[in-house]
C-alpha cells in the first residue's frame, strides 16, 4: 500500500529515472551550493570571494567558443534515435543509415570541440590575467589568483573537449545515464573543492569542481559507451549518409550561436562589471546570491531539460497532442518547484537577519527577492525556447540580441552609478517586459505554423 502511494506521488510529480537523477543532481547541487557558499563566506576573505565568483563568470566565455553546438548535436541525435536504440553492451542498434549519421556527426563535432578547447585556453587565459590584475581600488596582494586561474581555464577546456559525447548521449535518450554521470562528477568535484577551501587553497576550488565532471564523463565513455570512442577511428560515412552541415545543421547553428553569445551578456556580465567598477567585495556579494538563485533555477528547469530528447523524438513522429501534454506538465512543475524553492530561500535569509554576520555576504533581502522573481520568469522563457528548439529550429535570435543589448547597456550604466540594486531591477524588468511576452508570441505563432490549424 505504501509502495502504491509512493508511486502515485512520483507520477504526480512527473518523476522517472531521468528526472530523478536530474533532480538528484540539482538537489546535490543545492546542498553542495549551500555548503560551498558557507565555506566561501567563512574561509575566504571578502576580496577573495569576489575573485572566486568572477572566475566563474569569465569562464562562461566558453559560450563564445562552443556557440551552442552541443545543443544542436543533441537535437539532431534525438531525431535520428527515432530509428535507433542502445544495445546491452553499449552498441548502437537499428537503422544503419541513422547510425552512420549519428556517429559521423559525433566525429566531426569531436574534432571541432578539440580545436575550440585549445582556442579557449589560448585566448581566455591571457584575457583573465589582464582583467584580474586591475580590479577597482587598490589591488589586494594577499590574493594569489594566477595559478588558480590557469587551473580553472585548463579544467574548462577539458570539459569542452568532452562536450560532444555527452550531447550525443543526451540526445539518444540516455538522459538518466547522463544525469547520473553528472551527479557523480559534481559530487567528486564538490568534495575536492571543499578540501581546497579547508586547506587554504580556496581559488583552486573552481578548477577542482570542474575536473570532477570531466573525470566522471571520461570513466563513463571508457566503461559503458566505448562505441562512441571507437567511432573516432571509424572511416567517414558515405557522403549521402552524412548529416549535411550546410543544409541541415548550419540554418539552426548560426541562430543558436547568436543566442549563446547573447547569453553571456544577459547572465554573466554582472560580476565582471561589479568587479571592475565596484570592487571584488560587491562582486562577491552579488556572485554568492546569484549562485544560490541559479541553484534554485537549476532544480526547476530539470523538469524541462530531462524531457528535451523525448520532445524531439515525439516531434519526429508528429505526435502533437502527446508533445503538448508532455511539455505543459513539465512547465507547470518547473514553475512550481522554482517558486517554492525561492520562497524557502527567502524565508531562510530573513530568519538569519540580525543573527549572524554571514548574511552580509548576500545582497539585501529586497534585492534577493527581485533576483528570485527574475529567475522564476526565466523558467518560462527557457522552457518555451526548449520546445521550439526540439523542432531543430532556433526561431528568433534577434530577440536574444535585443535582450543582450538591453541587459548589457543598462547593467553597465547601473553598475557604474548604483551597484547591485540597479542590476537586479534591470534583470527582472528586461525579462518580464520584453523576453516573456516576445517568447510567448513566437511560441504560439510557430506552433500554429508547424502543427497546423488545430494547434491552439
In this predicted model, what pLDDT tens digit does every residue of 398-418 receive, in sequence order? 777 888 888 888 888 888 888
Task: Collapse the DSSP code of 92 into the 3-class scheme (helix H, G, I; strand E, B; otherwise coil) and give the result.
Answer: strand
Quick: pLDDT tens for 192-233. 999 998 888 888 999 998 999 899 999 988 888 887 887 777
Q: What is the pLDDT of residue 402?
A: 85
Q: Which residues contact 101 (CB under 8 A, 6 or more apart)?
A: 80, 237, 241, 242, 243
> How far is it, in rounded angstroms, from Cα 68 to Cα 65?
9
Alpha helices in 224-319 (DSSP H): 226-230, 250-263, 270-277, 280-305, 308-316
The grid coordinates of residue 254 equal 548560426
pLDDT value, residue 54: 86
What beta strand segments (E) does 136-207 contain? none
In which residue ranges of the chain is pLDDT below 50?
A: 1-2, 6, 9-10, 12-13
Strands 92-94 vs 84-86: parallel, antiparallel or unpaired: antiparallel
- Report pLDDT for 1: 46
Task: Report the mean per-residue pLDDT for the chain.
Answer: 82
**Residue 401's pLDDT is what?**
81
pLDDT score at 155: 94
Report pLDDT for 6. 43
DSSP structural state of residue 396 = -
Q: What is the pLDDT of residue 121?
A: 95
Within 13 Å of residue 23, how many CA atoms lie on the same side as its CB?
19
Report the phi/psi class of residue 137: left, alpha or beta, with left for phi > 0 and alpha for psi in -120 to 50.
Answer: left
Q: What are the two backbone dihedrals, phi and then psi, of residue 401, each rounded to the nearest 5 degrees?
A: -65, -45
For 40-76, what is each residue's pLDDT tens digit?
878 888 788 888 888 888 888 887 888 778 888 888 8
Q: What is the pLDDT of residue 214?
A: 92
What are the two backbone dihedrals, phi and then psi, of residue 226, each rounded to the nearest 5 degrees? -65, -25
- pTM for the full model? 0.66
Amino acid at each position: 500500500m505504501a509502495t502504491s502511494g509512493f508511486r502515485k506521488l512520483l507520477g504526480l510529480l512527473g518523476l522517472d529515472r531521468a528526472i530523478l537523477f536530474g533532480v538528484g543532481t540539482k538537489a546535490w547541487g543545492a546542498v553542495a551550493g549551500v555548503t560551498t557558499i558557507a565555506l566561501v563566506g567563512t574561509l575566504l576573505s571578502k576580496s577573495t570571494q569576489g575573485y572566486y565568483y568572477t572566475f566563474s563568470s569569465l569562464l562562461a566565455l566558453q559560450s563564445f567558443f562552443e556557440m551552442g553546438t552541443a545543443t544542436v548535436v543533441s537535437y539532431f541525435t534525438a531525431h535520428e534515435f527515432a530509428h535507433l536504440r542502445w544495445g546491452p553492451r553499449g552498441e548502437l542498434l537499428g537503422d544503419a543509415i541513422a547510425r552512420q549519421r549519428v556517429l559521423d556527426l559525433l566525429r566531426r563535432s569531436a574534432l571541432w570541440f578539440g580545436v575550440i578547447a585549445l582556442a579557449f585556453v589560448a585566448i581566455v587565459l591571457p584575457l583573465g590575467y589582464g582583467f584580474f590584475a586591475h580590479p577597482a581600488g587598490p589591488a589586494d596582494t594577499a590574493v594569489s589568483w594566477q595559478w588558480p586561474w590557469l587551473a580553472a581555464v585548463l579544467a574548462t577546456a577539458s570539459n569542452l573537449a568532452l562536450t560532444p559525447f555527452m550531447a550525443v548521449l543526451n540526445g539518444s535518450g540516455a538522459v538518466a545515464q547522463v544525469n547520473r554521470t553528472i551527479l557523480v562528477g559534481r559530487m567528486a568535484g564538490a568534495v575536492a573543492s571543499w578540501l581546497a577551501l579547508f586547506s587554504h587553497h580556496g581559488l583552486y576550488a573552481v578548477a577542482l569542481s570542474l575536473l570532477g565532471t570531466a573525470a566522471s564523463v571520461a570513466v563513463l565513455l571508457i566503461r559503458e559507451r566505448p562505441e562512441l570512442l571507437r567511432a573516432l577511428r571509424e572511416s567517414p560515412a558515405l557522403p549521402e549518409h552524412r548529416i549535411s552541415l550546410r543544409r541541415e545543421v548550419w540554418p539552426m547553428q548560426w541562430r543558436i550561436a547568436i543566442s549563446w553569445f547573447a547569453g553571456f551578456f544577459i547572465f554573466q556580465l554582472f560580476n565582471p562589471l561589479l568587479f571592475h567598477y565596484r570592487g571584488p567585495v560587491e562582486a562577491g556579494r552579488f556572485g554568492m546570491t546569484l549562485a544560490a538563485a541559479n541553484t534554485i533555477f537549476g532544480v526547476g528547469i530539470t523538469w524541462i531539460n530531462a524531457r528535451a530528447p523525448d520532445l524531439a523524438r515525439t516531434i519526429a513522429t508528429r505526435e502533437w497532442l502527446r508533445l503538448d501534454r508532455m511539455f505543459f506538465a513539465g512547465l507547470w512543475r518547473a514553475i512550481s518547484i522554482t517558486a517554492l524553492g525561492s520562497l524557502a530561500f527567502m524565508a531562510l535569509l530573513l530568519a538569519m537577519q540580525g543573527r549572524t554576520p554571514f548574511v552580509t555576504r548576500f545582497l539585501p533581502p529586497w534585492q534577493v527577492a527581485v533576483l528570485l522573481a527574475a529567475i522564476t520568469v526565466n523558467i518560462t522563457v527557457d522552457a518555451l525556447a526548449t520546445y521550439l528548439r526540439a523542432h531543430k529550429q532556433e526561431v528568433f535570435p534577434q530577440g536574444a540580441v535585443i535582450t543582450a543589448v538591453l541587459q548589457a547597456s543598462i547593467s553597465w550604466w547601473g553598475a557604474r552609478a548604483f551597484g547591485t540594486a540597479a542590476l537586479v531591477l534591470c534583470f527582472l524588468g528586461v525579462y518580464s517586459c520584453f523576453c516573456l511576452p516576445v517568447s510567448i508570441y513566437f511560441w504560439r505563432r510557430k506552433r500554429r505554423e508547424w502543427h497546423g490549424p488545430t494547434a491552439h
